[in-house]
Structure 1
Amino acid sequence: ANAAAATPPAKPPAPAEQVRQANLSAADHAQLQQVVSNYLDNVQKNFGPNMNNAGQELASLQPGTSYDWGVSLEAGVRYLVVGACDNECSNVDIQLVDPGGSVVAQDVLADDFPVVDFTPAASGAYHVRMLMRTCTFAPCYAGARLLAN
Protein backbone atom coordinates (compact mmCIF):
# COMPACT_ATOMS: atom_id res chain seq x y z
CA ALA A 1 0.00 0.00 0.00
CA ASN A 2 1.07 3.53 -0.69
CA ALA A 3 1.52 5.32 2.63
CA ALA A 4 1.24 8.75 0.99
CA ALA A 5 -2.35 8.02 -0.05
CA ALA A 6 -3.40 7.93 3.61
CA THR A 7 -1.89 11.33 4.38
CA PRO A 8 -4.59 13.95 4.88
CA PRO A 9 -4.37 16.92 2.51
CA ALA A 10 -2.36 19.86 3.79
CA LYS A 11 -4.45 22.62 5.28
CA PRO A 12 -4.08 26.04 3.67
CA PRO A 13 -2.14 28.48 5.84
CA ALA A 14 -4.33 30.38 8.27
CA PRO A 15 -4.71 34.10 7.59
CA ALA A 16 -2.50 36.32 9.73
CA GLU A 17 -5.61 37.72 11.40
CA GLN A 18 -8.50 35.44 12.17
CA VAL A 19 -11.82 37.26 11.91
CA ARG A 20 -14.18 36.72 14.81
CA GLN A 21 -17.45 35.09 13.78
CA ALA A 22 -20.83 36.15 15.13
CA ASN A 23 -23.68 33.73 15.72
CA LEU A 24 -26.53 35.95 14.51
CA SER A 25 -30.19 35.40 15.31
CA ALA A 26 -32.95 36.29 12.85
CA ALA A 27 -33.49 39.48 14.86
CA ASP A 28 -29.77 40.33 14.59
CA HIS A 29 -29.91 39.86 10.80
CA ALA A 30 -32.98 42.11 10.57
CA GLN A 31 -31.33 44.78 12.74
CA LEU A 32 -28.12 44.77 10.66
CA GLN A 33 -30.14 45.00 7.45
CA GLN A 34 -31.96 48.04 8.87
CA VAL A 35 -28.65 49.66 9.91
CA VAL A 36 -27.25 49.28 6.38
CA SER A 37 -30.51 50.47 4.81
CA ASN A 38 -30.38 53.60 7.02
CA TYR A 39 -26.76 54.21 5.96
CA LEU A 40 -27.84 53.89 2.31
CA ASP A 41 -30.52 56.54 2.98
CA ASN A 42 -27.80 58.88 4.29
CA VAL A 43 -25.46 58.24 1.35
CA GLN A 44 -28.35 58.85 -1.05
CA LYS A 45 -29.14 62.18 0.67
CA ASN A 46 -25.51 63.26 0.27
CA PHE A 47 -24.79 62.08 -3.27
CA GLY A 48 -28.12 61.70 -5.08
CA PRO A 49 -30.82 63.62 -3.21
CA ASN A 50 -32.89 64.28 -6.34
CA MET A 51 -32.47 60.84 -7.90
CA ASN A 52 -35.00 58.01 -7.87
CA ASN A 53 -34.39 54.84 -5.87
CA ALA A 54 -34.40 52.10 -8.52
CA GLY A 55 -33.81 49.24 -6.07
CA GLN A 56 -31.39 47.97 -3.48
CA GLU A 57 -29.78 44.73 -2.41
CA LEU A 58 -28.28 43.71 0.94
CA ALA A 59 -25.84 40.85 1.45
CA SER A 60 -24.20 39.15 4.41
CA LEU A 61 -20.51 38.72 3.53
CA GLN A 62 -17.28 37.36 4.92
CA PRO A 63 -14.15 39.50 4.47
CA GLY A 64 -12.51 38.91 1.10
CA THR A 65 -15.75 37.78 -0.55
CA SER A 66 -18.12 39.46 -2.97
CA TYR A 67 -21.76 39.42 -3.99
CA ASP A 68 -23.17 40.18 -7.45
CA TRP A 69 -26.58 41.83 -7.86
CA GLY A 70 -28.15 41.83 -11.32
CA VAL A 71 -29.58 45.17 -12.51
CA SER A 72 -31.11 46.23 -15.81
CA LEU A 73 -29.74 49.56 -17.03
CA GLU A 74 -31.00 51.74 -19.89
CA ALA A 75 -28.68 53.47 -22.35
CA GLY A 76 -28.29 57.20 -21.80
CA VAL A 77 -29.70 57.22 -18.24
CA ARG A 78 -27.37 58.47 -15.50
CA TYR A 79 -27.09 56.06 -12.59
CA LEU A 80 -25.43 56.26 -9.22
CA VAL A 81 -24.72 53.08 -7.32
CA VAL A 82 -24.19 53.92 -3.65
CA GLY A 83 -23.01 51.48 -1.05
CA ALA A 84 -22.74 51.12 2.71
CA CYS A 85 -21.86 48.49 5.27
CA ASP A 86 -22.51 47.80 8.94
CA ASN A 87 -20.56 49.03 11.96
CA GLU A 88 -18.08 46.12 11.91
CA CYS A 89 -17.00 47.00 8.37
CA SER A 90 -14.62 49.82 7.42
CA ASN A 91 -14.03 49.10 3.72
CA VAL A 92 -16.50 47.91 1.10
CA ASP A 93 -16.05 48.43 -2.64
CA ILE A 94 -18.45 48.47 -5.58
CA GLN A 95 -17.78 47.52 -9.18
CA LEU A 96 -20.25 47.85 -12.04
CA VAL A 97 -19.88 44.98 -14.51
CA ASP A 98 -21.28 45.20 -18.04
CA PRO A 99 -23.15 42.39 -19.87
CA GLY A 100 -19.83 41.17 -21.33
CA GLY A 101 -18.25 40.77 -17.90
CA SER A 102 -15.98 43.85 -17.96
CA VAL A 103 -15.76 46.27 -15.04
CA VAL A 104 -16.97 49.58 -16.50
CA ALA A 105 -17.01 51.71 -13.33
CA GLN A 106 -15.88 51.22 -9.75
CA ASP A 107 -15.17 52.79 -6.39
CA VAL A 108 -12.36 50.89 -4.68
CA LEU A 109 -11.30 53.58 -2.22
CA ALA A 110 -10.59 52.38 1.32
CA ASP A 111 -13.90 53.58 2.77
CA ASP A 112 -17.33 52.28 3.73
CA PHE A 113 -19.52 54.40 1.43
CA PRO A 114 -18.60 53.67 -2.20
CA VAL A 115 -20.27 55.75 -4.92
CA VAL A 116 -20.19 54.80 -8.61
CA ASP A 117 -21.47 57.26 -11.25
CA PHE A 118 -22.21 55.68 -14.65
CA THR A 119 -24.22 56.40 -17.80
CA PRO A 120 -24.34 53.27 -20.00
CA ALA A 121 -23.93 53.60 -23.75
CA ALA A 122 -25.92 50.38 -24.20
CA SER A 123 -28.96 49.00 -22.38
CA GLY A 124 -28.62 45.57 -20.83
CA ALA A 125 -28.14 43.31 -17.84
CA TYR A 126 -25.35 44.65 -15.67
CA HIS A 127 -24.10 43.45 -12.28
CA VAL A 128 -23.36 45.49 -9.20
CA ARG A 129 -20.53 43.69 -7.38
CA MET A 130 -20.14 44.39 -3.67
CA LEU A 131 -16.68 43.45 -2.37
CA MET A 132 -16.22 43.12 1.40
CA ARG A 133 -12.64 44.22 2.09
CA THR A 134 -12.57 44.76 5.86
CA CYS A 135 -14.88 43.14 8.40
CA THR A 136 -13.75 42.79 12.01
CA PHE A 137 -16.69 40.70 13.28
CA ALA A 138 -18.15 38.53 10.54
CA PRO A 139 -20.42 38.25 8.78
CA CYS A 140 -20.73 41.90 7.83
CA TYR A 141 -23.71 43.31 5.99
CA ALA A 142 -23.18 45.40 2.88
CA GLY A 143 -25.76 47.09 0.74
CA ALA A 144 -25.97 48.74 -2.64
CA ARG A 145 -28.69 51.07 -3.90
CA LEU A 146 -29.27 51.94 -7.54
CA LEU A 147 -30.27 55.56 -8.13
CA ALA A 148 -31.51 56.77 -11.51
CA ASN A 149 -31.90 60.28 -12.89
Structure 2
Amino acid sequence: MVLPDLGLSVGWLLIVIGAVLLLVEIHSPGFFATVPATVMIFIGILLLLGIDIFNSGWGVVIGVVVAICAAGFTVWMYGRITPNESPTTISRDSLVGKEGLVIKNVDPNTLTGKVMIGTTEWSAHSTGAPIPVGKKVKVVDSEGVHIVVEEVA
Protein backbone atom coordinates (compact mmCIF):
# COMPACT_ATOMS: atom_id res chain seq x y z
CA MET A 1 0.00 0.00 0.00
CA VAL A 2 3.00 2.32 0.17
CA LEU A 3 3.40 2.52 -3.64
CA PRO A 4 -0.03 4.04 -4.38
CA ASP A 5 0.59 6.75 -1.77
CA LEU A 6 3.99 7.41 -3.33
CA GLY A 7 2.36 7.62 -6.79
CA LEU A 8 -0.15 10.15 -5.51
CA SER A 9 2.56 12.23 -3.86
CA VAL A 10 4.77 12.16 -6.94
CA GLY A 11 1.74 12.91 -9.14
CA TRP A 12 0.82 16.01 -7.15
CA LEU A 13 4.47 17.07 -7.01
CA LEU A 14 4.77 16.84 -10.82
CA ILE A 15 1.56 18.81 -11.29
CA VAL A 16 2.72 21.55 -8.92
CA ILE A 17 6.19 21.75 -10.51
CA GLY A 18 4.57 21.86 -13.98
CA ALA A 19 2.25 24.66 -12.88
CA VAL A 20 5.17 26.64 -11.45
CA LEU A 21 7.10 26.19 -14.71
CA LEU A 22 4.06 27.48 -16.64
CA LEU A 23 3.95 30.53 -14.38
CA VAL A 24 7.66 31.12 -15.03
CA GLU A 25 6.97 30.85 -18.77
CA ILE A 26 4.10 33.34 -18.54
CA HIS A 27 6.29 35.78 -16.63
CA SER A 28 9.24 35.42 -19.02
CA PRO A 29 8.07 34.02 -22.39
CA GLY A 30 10.52 32.18 -24.59
CA PHE A 31 9.33 28.57 -24.82
CA PHE A 32 11.87 27.54 -22.20
CA ALA A 33 9.59 25.72 -19.78
CA THR A 34 6.33 25.11 -21.62
CA VAL A 35 7.01 21.60 -22.94
CA PRO A 36 8.48 20.18 -19.72
CA ALA A 37 5.69 21.82 -17.71
CA THR A 38 2.96 20.28 -19.87
CA VAL A 39 4.60 16.85 -19.82
CA MET A 40 4.96 16.99 -16.03
CA ILE A 41 1.31 17.91 -15.60
CA PHE A 42 0.11 15.06 -17.85
CA ILE A 43 2.41 12.51 -16.20
CA GLY A 44 1.21 13.75 -12.79
CA ILE A 45 -2.39 13.22 -13.89
CA LEU A 46 -1.55 9.65 -14.99
CA LEU A 47 -0.06 8.96 -11.57
CA LEU A 48 -3.14 10.39 -9.85
CA LEU A 49 -5.31 8.10 -11.99
CA GLY A 50 -3.37 5.14 -10.61
CA ILE A 51 -1.36 4.24 -13.72
CA ASP A 52 2.01 2.91 -12.59
CA ILE A 53 4.36 4.43 -15.16
CA PHE A 54 7.47 3.33 -13.27
CA ASN A 55 7.13 -0.45 -12.78
CA SER A 56 4.44 -1.71 -15.14
CA GLY A 57 5.40 -2.50 -18.75
CA TRP A 58 2.19 -1.01 -20.15
CA GLY A 59 2.44 1.86 -17.70
CA VAL A 60 5.83 2.82 -19.09
CA VAL A 61 4.48 2.65 -22.66
CA ILE A 62 1.43 4.73 -21.71
CA GLY A 63 3.67 7.25 -19.91
CA VAL A 64 6.00 7.63 -22.90
CA VAL A 65 3.11 7.95 -25.38
CA VAL A 66 1.35 10.53 -23.20
CA ALA A 67 4.61 12.49 -22.75
CA ILE A 68 5.25 12.54 -26.53
CA CYS A 69 1.64 13.54 -27.26
CA ALA A 70 1.73 16.26 -24.57
CA ALA A 71 4.99 17.64 -25.99
CA GLY A 72 3.65 17.56 -29.55
CA PHE A 73 0.40 19.23 -28.51
CA THR A 74 2.32 21.94 -26.65
CA VAL A 75 4.56 22.69 -29.63
CA TRP A 76 1.54 22.77 -31.96
CA MET A 77 -0.47 25.02 -29.62
CA TYR A 78 2.49 27.33 -29.04
CA GLY A 79 2.84 27.72 -32.82
CA ARG A 80 -0.86 28.57 -33.13
CA ILE A 81 -0.84 31.29 -30.46
CA THR A 82 2.49 32.86 -31.44
CA PRO A 83 2.10 35.85 -33.78
CA ASN A 84 3.55 35.35 -37.26
CA GLU A 85 4.81 38.91 -37.53
CA SER A 86 8.46 39.79 -37.49
CA PRO A 87 9.52 42.17 -34.74
CA THR A 88 9.61 45.81 -35.71
CA THR A 89 13.10 47.16 -36.13
CA ILE A 90 14.41 50.59 -36.94
CA SER A 91 17.37 50.81 -39.22
CA ARG A 92 19.19 54.04 -39.63
CA ASP A 93 18.48 53.99 -43.38
CA SER A 94 14.72 53.90 -42.76
CA LEU A 95 15.04 57.23 -40.93
CA VAL A 96 15.96 59.24 -44.04
CA GLY A 97 13.22 61.80 -44.62
CA LYS A 98 11.86 61.66 -41.06
CA GLU A 99 11.70 64.72 -38.87
CA GLY A 100 12.86 65.08 -35.30
CA LEU A 101 13.83 67.52 -32.58
CA VAL A 102 17.32 68.53 -31.51
CA ILE A 103 17.85 67.70 -27.82
CA LYS A 104 21.61 68.45 -27.73
CA ASN A 105 23.26 70.97 -30.05
CA VAL A 106 24.11 69.43 -33.43
CA ASP A 107 27.37 70.50 -35.05
CA PRO A 108 28.70 69.63 -38.53
CA ASN A 109 32.14 68.65 -37.19
CA THR A 110 31.30 66.38 -34.22
CA LEU A 111 29.01 63.49 -33.32
CA THR A 112 28.08 64.94 -29.92
CA GLY A 113 24.70 66.20 -31.17
CA LYS A 114 21.53 64.34 -30.24
CA VAL A 115 18.24 64.23 -32.10
CA MET A 116 14.98 62.68 -30.88
CA ILE A 117 13.06 60.96 -33.67
CA GLY A 118 9.83 59.51 -32.36
CA THR A 119 10.84 57.98 -29.04
CA THR A 120 14.43 57.15 -29.99
CA GLU A 121 17.51 59.29 -29.43
CA TRP A 122 20.11 59.32 -32.22
CA SER A 123 23.64 60.71 -32.43
CA ALA A 124 23.77 63.25 -35.24
CA HIS A 125 25.77 65.85 -37.07
CA SER A 126 24.49 68.56 -39.39
CA THR A 127 25.15 69.20 -43.07
CA GLY A 128 26.00 72.86 -42.61
CA ALA A 129 25.67 75.30 -39.75
CA PRO A 130 25.27 74.23 -36.12
CA ILE A 131 21.67 73.57 -35.05
CA PRO A 132 20.64 74.58 -31.50
CA VAL A 133 18.47 72.64 -29.05
CA GLY A 134 14.74 72.81 -29.76
CA LYS A 135 14.95 73.15 -33.54
CA LYS A 136 13.16 70.76 -35.90
CA VAL A 137 15.41 68.78 -38.20
CA LYS A 138 15.04 66.35 -41.10
CA VAL A 139 17.23 63.28 -41.61
CA VAL A 140 19.06 63.48 -44.94
CA ASP A 141 21.52 60.59 -44.62
CA SER A 142 22.98 58.02 -42.28
CA GLU A 143 26.64 57.21 -41.70
CA GLY A 144 27.69 54.29 -39.55
CA VAL A 145 25.66 54.46 -36.34
CA HIS A 146 24.66 58.10 -36.54
CA ILE A 147 22.47 60.26 -38.74
CA VAL A 148 23.01 63.43 -40.77
CA VAL A 149 20.38 66.13 -40.35
CA GLU A 150 19.48 69.54 -41.66
CA GLU A 151 17.30 72.18 -40.06
CA VAL A 152 13.69 72.36 -41.21
CA ALA A 153 12.79 75.92 -42.17
Shorter-chain TM-score tier = under 0.3
**TM-score normalised by length of structure 1:** 0.23
Structure (1 or 2) with the greater helix fraction: 2
User: In terms of Rg, which structure is larger?
Assistant: 2
Structure (1 or 2) with the greater strand fraction: 1
